[in-house]
Chains A and B, each alone.
Chain A
Amino acid sequence: MQDLTFETLIAVFEEIFGRGLFWFMVAAAVLVTFGYFYVLIRDREVSWKKFLVAQLSMPVGAVLAVWFVMVMTDSRLADLGGPIDIILFLGIAVTGAIGMAILVYTLEALLGTKRTKGEADI
């Protein structure tokens, strides 16, 4: 690989998703991240009830991320052929899990539910 700079990586991601979709996803990720920090600062504490649902959603995020990559690339689990494949596989799953947890926590905190509104957290 030649000149694997940050700029090259951005160019490649723009080509994979299309410039519009890529930057939309970046903006969405930034928005969710800011939303997450916003609710943490606003509430000045972690809501364990919200976090419980967020945690429960993590396996779903992991499976969804892996399923998406496998389907899009004509792959199956039997194709994992070495340590780097396992690391990549786990990386995709962990990314999906964390992304889902942050999204669920943030949405719960912003939108509120009967379960979480006005609750008294531990």
Chain B
Amino acid sequence: MDRRQFLTAAVAGGAAASLVSPSAEAQVSPVQTSARIVIIGAGAGGTALANRLVRRLEGAQITLIDPRREHLYQPGLTLVAAGLKPGGYVVSDTAKWLPEGVTWLPERVVAVDAEAKTVSTESGETLGYDWLVVAPGLVLDHDAIEGFSLDMVGENGIGALYAGPEYAARTWAAASRFVEDGGTGLFTRPSTEMKCAGAPLKHTFLIDDIARRAGNAGRMNMVYAAPQATLFGVPIVAEKVRMLFEDRGVDTMMNRTLTGIDAGARRATFATGSGSEEVEYDYIHVVPPQRAPDFVRRSGLSWADRWTDQGWVECDMATLRHLRYPEVFALGDVAGVPKGKTAASVKWQVPVVEDHIVAGIEGREGTETYDGYTSCPMITRIGRAMLVEFDYHDNLVPSFPGMIAPLEELWISWLMKEVALKATYNAMLRGRA
């Protein structure tokens, strides 16, 4: 055997050996308890937490309450709205992800009585709890945009990709006509907190790239309009996006809040702070204001002095524990924390809530904390993305420092979004990542 053959054999043997080596992770024996744990919401947060708690606790009564039969992989909606994936790519059965040993109540929650420690559903059922996790997601307030309704999506140059796979697919139907015909494209975002604030930017970049590939760059007038003064909440990322927009010829209209559209005339109305402004478009991407579900505010769980128009749950930003009701936790989109409305945030929040609930059951204090980690594979064109990761302090916190530059448009970051992200998300749902 010569040197080349030896190396070939070594690589093959090493790969095989690494695949059969045992996991180094020690298994912790489950905690015995009869605690009643109610989780409102079987989305990313609720499902991942249920899967982890089932492994950590023995004898606990875990109930998930959620009327949705279909689970949505929301990070995939941008790809559907750019024609890169079919609508079915983001849909799966809720039941598929739920572990053995938990009860799923497919109902809508109407109220929480945090004093009596009960949750009421729309069928009139009342459940008592020892621990409550509020993870119902958020509500898209489409009615706040005058003249807009979801049944308009896909027609007359109107897109709205957040509303679900059907609407993301219809968004692509409208956007693909726009990239063929050209004209003015308006890409908006709301003044409220929102899930993945990078998604409207990604949609802008993708539609611009698709138009360029179609040879229509010269016929496009791309405009990004936002109520904020900057393009992204993290200053260093905002600057990078500003430079990319400048490079691609995407104009911006800052400090403009979309308040209404006239679908027939293809005209959008923006509030400017001192008045209103009308802008004509050929394609508009509508991102409505986003708020906590009504029952959260009605139940007195929301902040009284922050986000008063949005109703996010009042909780500690490090432990996600409710500030007035220590047996209540917020998780995911509904949590009233400065950042964290992405699946990546949920991945980091779930172990924190898990730790504090298990510690509480054992009669001790939990130690895990959440520092606002959020990740956004910011797609800048088909085939390239920036892997932007940051925390509460607007610090960049790259997972692969020195290898994957966070503000560089890279193919590897695109591959992560295309190949690894959904797999990691699914592993998270099963409580294994």
Contact = CB atoms under 8 A, between A and B. Distances in A.
Contact of A75 (B347, B383, B408, B409): B383
A68 to B, nearest CB: 12
Contact of A40 (B9, B411, B419, B426): B9
B424 interface: yes
Given A33-B16, A75-B414, A102 B424 contact: no
A42 to B, nearest CB: 13
A81 B15 contact: no
Given A75-B383, A75-B411, A85-B412, A15 B16 contact: no
Contact of A79 (B11, B404, B411): B411
Contacts of B8: 98, 101-102
Contact of B5 (A15, A46, A75): A46
A24 interface: no
B430 A11 contact: yes
A87 B348 CA distance: 29
B412 A12 contact: no
Nearest to B5: A46
Interface string B186-204: 0000000000000000000
A51 interface: yes
Contacts of B414: 73, 75, 79
B354 to A, nearest CB: 12
B24 A8 contact: no
Given A51-B5, A76-B383, A15 B427 contact: yes
B399 A5 contact: no
Contacts of A13: 423
A121 to B, nearest CB: 12
B433 interface: yes
A76 B376 CA distance: 22
Q: How large is the interface on A (under 10, 10 to 19, 20 to 34, 35 or more residues)?
A: 35 or more
Nearest to B418: A73
A36 B9 contact: yes
A24 to B, nearest CB: 13
A6 B432 CA distance: 11
Contact of B410 (A36, A46, A85): A85
Nearest to A4: B399
Interface of A: 1-8, 10-16, 26, 29-30, 32-33, 36-37, 40, 45-46, 51, 69, 72-76, 78-82, 84-85, 88-89, 98, 101-102
Given A1-B399, A6-B21, 12 more contacts: A2-B348, A5-B25, A11-B430, A14-B427, A16-B423, A32-B12, A36-B9, A46-B2, A75-B415, A79-B411, A81-B384, A82-B405
What are the nearest 7 A-B pairs in CB distance? A79-B383, A15-B423, A1-B399, A11-B427, A11-B432, A85-B411, A15-B426
